[in-house]
Structure 1
Amino acid sequence: MNVSTKPAEHRRLTGKGQATRARILEQAAELIYANGVHATNNEQIRRATGISGSQLNHYFSTKEKLVLAVIEWQAERVLAVHRGEQFDSFDSIDAFRRWAAFYVGYERAYREGCTLGSLASEIIKTDLNVRDELASAFGQWREIFRDGITEMQRRGRMSADADPTQLANLLLAAFQGGMMLAQVAQEIGPLDDALRAAIDHLETFATDESAG
């Protein structure tokens, strides 16, 4: 499942065009994070990227198209991390603990927060028609956890009584809530506590085959 079901015209761009588009998205994402969607305008994006108004309009003819692309761009970055080899497809309790340690150990986590979560909390307050794309992005993130837990069940590492969807929702909610509280407190403790508690609960469903 793709983050967006809308046509991806950018895949037909040249290498230079792809690079320009990526630069626009990176700068737009930073501006939206810092200023909000409504306070981010074309002039700010043009200054940040060093492109003309016609160039910006060439890649994104409307603000909604730009915001949709920013969601897709941010989601792809987050999902790529979670689909990487370092977490072993989340097929063990240890894999989930490595995931938690990765974010708790990231020195700027409590200052930056979750890029996708912060973007979603800002965009969801607007009247832009982007709710489906946000739901899809978080749905894919949840599926990574759910698929890992389902695989643990298949291997006999997790009790059949476990509900993979419910546990995946818990893990994602613990991450998002913990990250927000860590930003407010300006220290990583709330995220550490939230993830530790969620994974401890996940471990209550583990069997003797779950080690490793």
Structure 2
Amino acid sequence: MTQDTAGIREQARRLGADFVGVADVAGFLSPDYTGNRPQDLMPGIRSVIVIGVVIPKGCIQPLPKGRPEYTNTLMAGTATLRVIAFRLARDLERKGYQAALVPTEGSEFGMWYADKETLRADISLKYAAWLAGLGTYGLNQLLITRETGPRIRMTAILTDAPLDADHPVEETFVRPECAACQKCVKACPVGAINADGTIRAQACRDYMFSTLGGLRCGMCIRVCPL
């Protein structure tokens, strides 16, 4: 492992990240990936650093009660990640590399950053995390980690630093357990999650930002047994 890679991992954890991985940008050129590519955002990009924090169970278990507390906890996770990522990006630039932060909110249909029509972010954080070996997808289209399931918050840093890339832990996107589970499909208040693994993102977005007035739903995370 290069000194830069080891240093980034160590510093990210020291600043409060619960997990960190590095995705090889070549993975975004796969025909299986249909989202926006980081190569279109930063010429010369070599690595995508994915960092994340674990969301406490205490704000998830009471759902659908306590949605203000749940939403506030998620936002605190986002704020934490922004500070960590900013510190890492500044350190990369001091070493002569370029670095830019990926918006966290785009991964959850956030109205601030995602495309208003497609609801796609500039790059898929979940796909980057899969490339970095941090987890696999669930039927709820969320990243499922081995240690804490979908109870996570993530962001990423685009950089031209030549870091040592991690590799996917599974060849398939969706966890095989999901096919027989279907709990998130049944729990979704607006039927946005389909049994075949597709999702009606607009229905999810409208429920959170119209019906719930900007609060987060969280039911697909609440019922996930992983």
Question: Aligning the two structures, in what range does the TM-score lie when normalised by the shorter sequence?
Answer: under 0.3
TM-score normalized by structure 1? 0.28
Q: Which structure has the larger Rg over C-alpha atoms?
A: 1
TM-score normalized by structure 2? 0.26
Greater share of residues in helix: 1
